[in-house]
């Protein structure tokens, strides 16, 4: 994957006066850490949430990592808050950090695959207006860079067995 363009040093840091001594203190701007979760269900289906807040659209369950929280704990928490599902993380899918991946600000997302303990508990919660199971080969238009994430995830899956009588 080619490196992403840098936004430039002048946008990376700024300074402000220390309230105690008056000296300039550099303040660095860094991407905000987030997580996304690909909840894989039988038949190559995935769980998507319809976002209740802008940017609107269908997306993977996910959100911001809280201070003092690991990315793994944030992924499990966000999956539960948005879908009602308790999940077990099964693998790291990747890290996505393109500066334009989120129209609100620069984020860095650690993406995990997961299995649901009890898919019957699926229900929309927290920031989700709706939640639905979608086949990986028939996804709706997705928010953020989630189409790319799911394409990358699909590449990690073993090939589907061929159907008897189908042309190769």
Distance CA 2, CA 108 (A): 17
Predicted model pTM: 0.84
> pLDDT-derived band of residue 17, with 50, 70 and 90 as boundaries?
confident
Q: Is the pLDDT of residue 135 over 90?
A: yes
Q: Name the one residue in this structure whose structure tokens are 């909840």.
A: 39
In a domain, 5, yes or no: no
Is the residue at 12 inside a domain?
no
pLDDT interval class at 15 (50, 70, 90)? confident
CA distance 83 to 121: 8
- CATH code of the domain in which 97 resides: 3.90.79.10
Query: How many domains does the chain contain in total?
Result: 1
- Name the residue with tokens 């987030």: 34
| Residue corresponding to tokens 């979608």 | 134
Residue 96 falls inside a structural domain: yes
Question: What pLDDT is recorded for position 153?
Answer: 98
What integer is the mean pLDDT of 92-118? 97
26 within domain boundaries? no
Any domain includes 39: yes
The Cα–Cα gap between 168 and 165 comes to 9
- Identify any residues that bridge with 128 across adjacent strands, giving them in sequence order: 51
The boundaries of the domain holding residue 80 are 31-156
User: What digits encode the pLDDT tens for the residues 42-65?
Assistant: 999 999 999 999 999 999 999 999
Query: Is 128 part of any domain?
Result: yes
Task: Report the alpha-carbon distance of residue 10 to residue 6 in Å, rounded.
Answer: 11
User: What DSSP string describes 31-91?
Assistant: PEEEEEEEEEETTTEEEEEEESSSSPEEE-SEEEPPTT--HHHHHHHHHHHHH---EEEEE
What pLDDT score does 87 carry?
Answer: 98
Please, what is the average pLDDT of the chain? 90
Task: Please report the pLDDT score of residue 127 as a whole number.
Answer: 85
Q: How confident is the model at residue 163 (pLDDT cuts 50, 70, 90)?
A: low
pLDDT band at 20 (very low <50, low <70, confident <90, very high): confident
Enumerate residues 6+ apart whose C-beta is below 8 A from 3.
Answer: none
Residues 6+ apart with CB under 8 A from 31: 97, 99, 106, 107, 108
Task: Tell whether 119 is covered by a domain.
Answer: yes
Confidence of residue 78 (pLDDT cuts 50, 70, 90): very high
CB of 150 within 8 A of CB of 46?
Answer: yes
Tell me, yes or no, whether 45 lies in a domain. yes
DSSP SS3 for 119: helix
């Amino acid at each position: 994957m080619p490196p992403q363009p840098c936004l430039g040093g002048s946008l990376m840091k700024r300074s402000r006066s220390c309230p105690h001594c008056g000296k300039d203190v550099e303040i660095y701007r860094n991407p905000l850490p987030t997580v996304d979760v690909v909840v894989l269900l039988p038949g190559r289906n995935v769980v998507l949430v319809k976002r209740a807040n802008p940017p609107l659209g269908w997306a993977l369950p996910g959100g911001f990592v809280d201070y003092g929280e690991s990315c793994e704990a944030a992924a499990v928490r966000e999956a539960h808050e948005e879908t009602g599902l308790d999940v077990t993380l099964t693998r790291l899918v990747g890290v996505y950090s393109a500066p334009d991946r989120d129209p609100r600000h620069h984020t860095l997302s650690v993406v995990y695959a997961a299995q649901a303990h009890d898919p019957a508990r699926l229900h929309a919660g927290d920031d989700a207006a709706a939640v639905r199971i979608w086949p990986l080969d028939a996804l709706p238009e997705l928010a953020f860079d989630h189409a790319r994430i799911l394409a990358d995830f699909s590449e990690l899956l073993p090939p589907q067995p061929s159907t008897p009588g189908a042309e190769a």
